[in-house]
Amino acid sequence: MGSLVFRIAGGGSSTCADGSWVTGTTGSAAVGNITSNYALEFDGSNDYVDITGSAAAWRGVANFSFACWYWADSYPSSGPLTAPPTLFSVGSDDNNSRINFFFDGNTYISNLDYGFVLSMSGGAGGTAATYGSHYAWIGNLPTYPLSKPAKTGQWNHIALSYTGGASTSWEIVQVWINGIKHSSTNANGEWSNSYSGDSNISTPTYLYDSLGTTFDKSYIGRHDAGTGYFDGKIDQLATWDVSITNTDVLNLFSGSLAPSALSSSNLITYYNFAEGAGNSTTADSSGNGYTGTLTNMDTGSC
């Protein structure tokens, strides 16, 4: 991984100017054991990595997964936000199809603290108006579950698995935070101790049997709409066009398996941010060649 391979809950990090390569150390820890040198730090203002070259690979995908390590310098305290801090996004120039993984404040569920949200709109052959915009989320990241809360100021591992629905079935969403699975049911991706739902679809008879066919752009650390910048560090970010399993996630979380070794033929992208100071691009280690371009970022290290 990049900065701080010692992934101990509550572990500290050196102070560094935002928007830079962060130098870390190599070692094993209670939370992960992947050897590497750097992570990227995002300033929450205008830093992001442009991976638009990978957008076309998402067209028509029926199932997908996402995983990364992140360090949040802050979470939103209120919501809904018009520009929620986003880990990863893929979208279309006409804004009819989009997927965003972001954090938002006390938004979708009353009396819950900030949470993680999967937001999707559009679909194969449809637009946001016909397919609707719908969400799945989990709240109370800093306290639920109490054993491994996703606090600010520490490395956290997050993974998500999405299985698309067909014309008469619901999609299934599952999320793991620091190795703990938050189960979904076969009912629009409900997660335990949280709620998910659709807007613009009152009685859905179909949902996303496959994703949109017009994806044109993709980013790390920014919402596809052009705002929603993430404030913190990101490392070991990977996406797949299959649904990964609980065993897969535990192997990623423990560090016993690198993302490049998991369903390698189904990897869309994998960024381990191993380049370091002086580099304005980051390699896609999936083998697909979707090089990322650091945008508005200081290419120094600390």
Task: Give yes or no for a contact between 58 and 52, defined as CB atoms under 8 angstroms apart.
Answer: no
What Rg value do the Cα atoms of the chain yield, rounded? 18
| pLDDT of amino acid 134 | 56
| pLDDT of amino acid 18 | 47
Contacts of residue 111, defined as CB under 8 A and 6 or more positions apart, other chains included, come to: none
| pLDDT of amino acid 135 | 59
Return the number of other C-beta atoms located less than 10 Å from residue 239's C-beta: 29
Reading the block at residue 247, the tokens are 């065993």
Task: Give yes or no for a contact between 283 and 54, defined as CB atoms under 8 angstroms apart.
Answer: no
| pLDDT of amino acid 140 | 61
Instruction: Return the CATH number of the domain spanning residue range 46-270.
Output: 2.60.120.200
| pLDDT of amino acid 250 | 93
Taking phi first (over 0 means left), then psi (-120 to 50 degrees means alpha), and beta for anything else, what does residue 162 get?
beta
> Whole-model pTM?
0.82
Query: Residues of the chain whose pLDDT is less than 50?
Result: 1-15, 18-19, 24-33, 108-112, 124-132, 167-168, 185-209
| C-alpha triplet 63, 89, 152: angle, nearest 5° | 105
| pLDDT of amino acid 3 | 32
